[in-house]
Amino acid sequence: MTEQGAAPVRWRAGVTVALAILVVDQLTKAWAVSALAGHAPIPVLGDFLRLRLLYNPGAAFSIGSGSTWIFAILAAAAVAGLGWLVGRVRSGSWAVAFGLMLGGAATHLLDRLFRAPGFARGHVVDFLDYNGLFVGNVADIALTAGAALAVLLTVRGIGTDGGRANAKERRTPSSGD
């Protein structure tokens, strides 16, 4: 396959990952709302992991809970930026990383836009309680995994084109030699 032909395949991989995250996250949130509302936390792995329904108006750890509309704007900007990156990426690993982050950001944006208490003020549904430290959802797992993968790829020197970021420097002698 030519390099030009590889890019659309990577784009489709990123979009497929993003759509899968969006669907799984929204389905698990719908389940959580119907099954966990009005119930005490349900232990899954003792106190380490429990199912507990919360509606989060803020960011991580409920930071900025009075500024939900700002998070809606930030989520929309993240979706636009990540969508642009997914469309340009030529590395399968980077497509997965950006797809994970795009899916997580998109599903959080949907919550902000369409959940109570109203448009652009909606609260994110959280239901995975990690030992009382924080409560999250599938989108949070995807965002974290995507960011961790992006860091790993960066540390390993893998560019979004799939090549090593410093490979050109090693092949080209410096002008001072």
Output the DSSP codes for 52-66.
EEEEESSSGGGTTTT
* Within-domain flag for 174: no
Which 3 state secondary structure label does DSSP give 132? coil
d(CA 37, CA 125): 11
Residue 108 in this model has a pLDDT that exceeds 50: yes
Residue 23 forms part of a structural domain? yes
Residue 94 falls within a domain, yes or no?
yes
**What pLDDT does 151 receive?**
98
Q: Which domain holds residue 144?
A: 3-159
Peptide bond into 117 cis (omega under 30): yes
In a domain, 127, yes or no: yes
In a domain, 129, yes or no: yes
For 9, the token pair is: 């395949």
Catalytic residues: 126, 140
Write b or e for each residue in 52-89: b if 16 or more Cβ atoms lie within 10 A of its Cβ, otherwise e. bbbebbbbeeeeeeeebeebbebbbebbeebbebbeeb
pLDDT, tens digit (0-9, with 9 covering 90-100), for 85-95 = 999 999 999 99
Residues of the chain with pLDDT > 90, as a percent, come to 72
The pLDDT of residue 171 is 47
Cβ distance 146 to 100 under 8 Å?
yes
Q: What is the pTM of this model?
A: 0.85
pLDDT, tens only, 44-87: 999 899 999 999 987 665 666 667 788 889 999 999 999 999 99
Q: Where are the alpha helices (DSSP H) in 37-91?
A: 68-88
Count structural domains, the chain: 1
Residue 11 lies in a domain: yes
Q: Which two tokens stand for residue 4?
A: 């030009």
Q: Is 53 left (phi over 0), alpha (psi -120 to 50) or beta?
A: beta
Asked if residue 173 is part of any domain, the answer here is no
- Bridge partners of 56, per DSSP, are 124
For the residues 149-168, what does the mean pLDDT come to?
86
169 part of a folded domain: no
